[in-house]
Amino acid sequence: MYKNKNYLLAGITAVVFTLLFYRQSIGLNLILFEIILLFFIARYTPVSIAGVHGWVLAAGIAVTAVFTLIHASVFVIVMNVIALFMFTGWLLLPGGRSMASFACLAFVNIIQAPVNTFSQFLTGNQRHSRTLHRIRQVAWLILPLFLIMFFIWLYSSSNPYFSTIIDRLFKYPGKWLNILLENINPQLTFTLVFGLFTGILFFFRHKNKAISDWDENSTDDLLRKHRKSGGKNRRMFALKNEYRAGVFLLVILNLLIFLQNVLDIWFVWFHFEWNGQYLKQFVHEGTWLLIFSILISVVIILLLYQGNLNFLPRNRFLRLLSYTWLVQNMVLAASVAVRNGWYIYYYALAYKRIGVGIFLVLTLVGLVSVLLKVKHRKTMFYLLRINTLSMFILLVAASCINWDPVIARYNFAHYERSFLHLEWLCSLSDKSLPLLDKSPAELAKIKQVQDKAFPSDHRYMSPETYHEIIRERKRDFIFNWENRSILSFNLADYLAFRRLCQQDFKGRR
């Protein structure tokens, strides 16, 4: 009965998914689907939301679903899918303590759930052995058929007479096959199969024991390891050598990064002068330097504090050097933030510049967590747990912002000092069309200012081309909106539609 219920729930999920998403854009249908799906899970799965991670994932699904209804940006839709994907991992291990565990369980479940479905179907069949025998027979037939088709193709390619005979033999079967394929709707088939696959992931879940055991057996607090080999004096001597090597390494590294930070503070923070150069390399070099430095700093700290060096008496100086090293990396992160700020000041907002800001916040969280690991003698599992949870929360929060209108509004508001890349602005989503819609007079004024501020031999998009592209996009958007189903509704598109209609009405008066 339990297995039949799962088959029924997976089938209902596929039908509901198809009814809501077939030939529809993502909007209201997403929140409706997830309400129905989560109702089935709550009703038929003996699991209740408990613990920090369960509530965070549930909140992540709810928040991203609501903001999909509000603005349906690609970012928020992706984060909703990730939250729902990780929720399947949490359902497999409700007592789990790490987002990384849920992600790994969910990933393995993608492979194991379909296998589990087929396995339960066979075990639920009273003629299980006969079914397996038939499957083996079919398998032994499929392999020869593939070999036969391969040699037919090989001989047909090498001999035109052989090819003519084969074409005549397969003329009528091929004709009927083409008729069959022409009457199959690929989009409908894909939507139905994807919906069924989603139902299988949730209702035929299969827990990977190795991942769940790793999560359950890992601890936050580092434990002292007692080595049996060697005498006590030898072990203490080796530990002191590790200490001296760590002190020497961190002293040199602190001096090097101190010089880097002093130069950045002097030349980037307070004495930066822009003389028309392109700042992309200026920012990206600093970002890669930061990434490399953070990775090295984390590796060094983990290597130094992975064992009994944490418990060595009188290791205060090494800890002080470690704290200094981590704090200086935070200063380096601040320097990259300043570089990114200058980049935005002169070249306006873009996705990657916003991404750098998000990355810097995650970097600071990571550095603080490493500092706490050293101070409180924590494990690698602690770092993974804290940072994956922080990353998930920050990305969900960032996805709630409709970035395209923010970018369009900021860039046009600061065209007198920042470079306005019209060709790139044309690629922003339809939600920003009311902000992208500028009159020929406004565009001519912008071009005049831009030519003086950013003289260049490079040919950028002309205001006339930009105006024509936006006008065509407006026409297509209004037509598509008027023919759109309520299932594809989202608030941002609705407001953009109303504003564009009002602008056109005022323009005709």
The residue-averaged pLDDT of 33-41 equals: 93
Query: Above 70 in pLDDT, residue 232?
Result: no
Calculate ∠ Cα 436-438-442, nearest 5°. 135
Name the residue with higher pLDDT: 87 or 282.
87
For residue 508, give every residue at least 6 positions away whose Cβ sits within 8 Å of its Cβ, in sequence order, or none.
Answer: none
Contact 473, 453 (CB under 8 A): no
pLDDT by residue (tens digit) across 266-322? 888 887 877 655 566 666 666 677 777 777 777 777 777 766 555 566 678 888 888
142/147 Cα distance (integer angstroms): 9
The residue-averaged pLDDT of 429-435 equals: 94
Tokens 């602690």 belong to residue: 382
Instruction: Look at residue 307 in the predicted model and tell me its pLDDT.
Output: 61
The residue-averaged pLDDT of 196-202 equals: 91
Query: Above 90 in pLDDT, residue 107?
Result: yes
Tokens read off for 385: 């747990």
pLDDT by residue (tens digit) across 365-408? 999 998 998 888 888 889 899 999 999 999 999 999 999 999 99
Q: Kindly report the pTM of this predicted structure.
A: 0.83
Q: How confident is the model at residue 138 (pLDDT cuts 50, 70, 90)?
A: low
Residue type, 446: I
Helix locations, 93-127, DSSP H: 99-123
Q: What is the average pLDDT score of the chain?
A: 82
Helix locations, 348-490, DSSP H: 351-376, 380-399, 403-413, 422-425, 433-436, 440-453, 463-482
For residue 4, give every residue at least 6 positions away whose Cβ sits within 8 Å of its Cβ, in sequence order, or none.
Answer: 124
The residue-averaged pLDDT of 102-108 equals: 93
Helix locations, 159-273, DSSP H: 160-169, 171-182, 186-203, 209-217, 232-264
Task: Give percent of the chain above pLDDT 70.
Answer: 78
Name the residue with higher pLDDT: 140 or 408.
408
